[in-house]
Structure 1
């Protein structure tokens, strides 16, 4: 089977090595697992950490090849996407440009097998638009990442960011919305080895971020904005009726669920019933196969999907064609034939 993994992470070491040399927060340190600990501040309760598997793209593809399928991937940033909005704008812009160059290099190395999305510094709206235009027009990246917060600010629906959303809509780009380990980090990181935050915090944060886009009217003002929610939409599909019932004070012209069902999502739920419900709620045309690799192993994801009731036509949509359509994935341009020239006369 030909598969596209719509929720895949590869991180370039160059970014993290540079962050290790930064004297102030945020910064990184090398850890014992072949990766890095990212520290937003001195008193941050739960540090974002990675391990060796995040950084070796060749080995990641070797593992994909071992699954018995042709697996292409879509690179998004994940929880690290907030980093570019954590620091002063000049640095945030430089780090985002550096990240985007690395992603473009990966696309060139694996043409037609890897597509990548852009980092943007959201603490300045004009800079975010400029960096995005560079990523799309010069580097050929296919989407943009939206963290669940802008640095320590939970307001991704801030009025100043509306021109950014309008620009993303105009370009027709997918907007990958992922929790960032910021807003609920300290509240939920106390004890249990970080288990409370990792299990519940990220679900709460992505749900809160998506609801801000809805309640602020951002989704109403931008009807063609393509928001791709991670992790089967967090808690929102399962509490959709409550969202409709208790959100009337926002005075939107349509029920909340109308806007939620306009969003797209993946199959990142280690629970076949959760996968099934996401497909039933959003509709088969709005759900894409995704694994969150290397956070989650694709092998059990594929196994769980065997228990989800799908026709052959719906499997084709879920595993491949939805991603091509929703994310606008294009095949690489064919190489130009080399014209043989006659030798010059002596």
Structure 2
């Protein structure tokens, strides 16, 4: 079976070596496993303790080859997307440029198997647009990543960012929203990170997505392609409550109308969660994703088999939806 993993993480080692050389936070440290640890600030609880495979694309793709399918991947930044808006603007621009060029290099060296998506510094709207244009127009990346907050500022719906969202919509590239570790972290401390990882990230990304809904960003830019990670966070499961109380935002349509215009992935270690995401968003708006190396693709494939999908729905879920959304070549022309 031909598979396109829409939620996959490859992080360039060269970028982390740059972060290791810095004396101020955010920064990275080499760990005893041969990977890297990332810290937003001094004394922060380390939730980004990364094994070597995160930084070795050939090793990651070799594991994909072991699954018994032809698996191609779309790389997203994940929780590190906050970094580029968590540093001074000039540093954020330089770091985003370095990241995007590394993604473009990987896309060229693994053509037809890996596609990269862009980092942007949201602290400066003009810089975010320029960085986006360079990443998509010149480097050929296929999407853009937006964190759940701008550093510790949760207002990704800030009025000043309207031109950025308009530009993303005009370019027609997907905008991937992934939780980070800046919001709710202190509230949900303890238990070796278990409380934050299980609830904090879900809360953060759900609140971020609803800011785009309630602010009217999705109403004003109906062509904006938003990917809400992790089977939609809390949104599908609280849609009734959102419509009931979301009337206060004064939108011309029920909030769930905008939620259902989003896309999501199958990153949920729970067959019922996957099933409900498909039923809520519709099969055309759900894409296979594993969050690898955070989650084992073999486990994801096993859970999806439990759903008993038709072959037509499998074709959409496993390859067609993501290929269409990201504007990739037909698999019959790109197959190795």
Structure 1 length-normalised TM: 0.94
> Which residue is 1:325 aligned to?
324
Do structure 1's residue 225 and structure 2's residue 229 form an aligned pair? Answer: no
> Which residue is 1:244 aligned to?
243
Do structure 1's residue 101 and structure 2's residue 137 form an aligned pair? Answer: no
- Pair member with larger Rg: 1
Greater Cα shift, 202-211 or 279-288: 202-211
CA deviation map 1:66-97 (0-9, x unaligned): 00000000001000000011111111111110
> Which residue is 1:111 aligned to?
111
Paired with 1:65 and 1:229, the residues of 2 have a C-alpha distance of 27
SS in 1 for 2:71: strand
> Which residue is 2:87 aligned to?
87
* Alignment RMSD (CA, Å): 1.4
Paired with 2:327 and 2:205, the residues of 1 have a C-alpha distance of 23
The 1:331/1:325 distance shift into structure 2, 3 A limit, reads closer
Paired with 2:140 and 2:125, the residues of 1 have a C-alpha distance of 21
SS in 2 for 1:145: strand
> Which residue is 2:134 aligned to?
134
Paired with 1:320 and 1:30, the residues of 2 have a C-alpha distance of 36
> Which residue is 1:338 aligned to?
none
CA deviation map 1:90-109 (0-9, x unaligned): 11111110101110111111
CA deviation map 1:205-253 (0-9, x unaligned): 1111110100111111110000001100001101100000011110101
SS in 2 for 1:154: coil
Paired with 2:248 and 2:33, the residues of 1 have a C-alpha distance of 48
> Which residue is 1:264 aligned to?
263
> Which residue is 2:196 aligned to?
197
Q: For the Cα contact (< 8 Å) 2:37–2:46, is it kept in 1? A: no
Paired with 1:313 and 1:221, the residues of 2 have a C-alpha distance of 33
Matches within 5 A, 1:1-346: 1-189=1-189, 191-330=190-329
CA deviation map 1:101-128 (0-9, x unaligned): 1101111111111111001111000000
Paired with 1:45 and 1:103, the residues of 2 have a C-alpha distance of 28
SS in 1 for 2:309: coil
Give the drift of 1:43. Answer: 4.1
Give the drift of 1:45. Answer: 3.7
> Which residue is 1:344 aligned to?
none
Which consecutive residues of structure 2, in runs of 5 or more, have no partner in the other structure? Answer: none
Which consecutive residues of structure 1, in runs of 5 or more, have no partner in the other structure? Answer: 335-346
Paired with 2:90 and 2:205, the residues of 1 have a C-alpha distance of 27
Q: For the Cα contact (< 8 Å) 2:85–2:92, is it kept in 1? A: yes
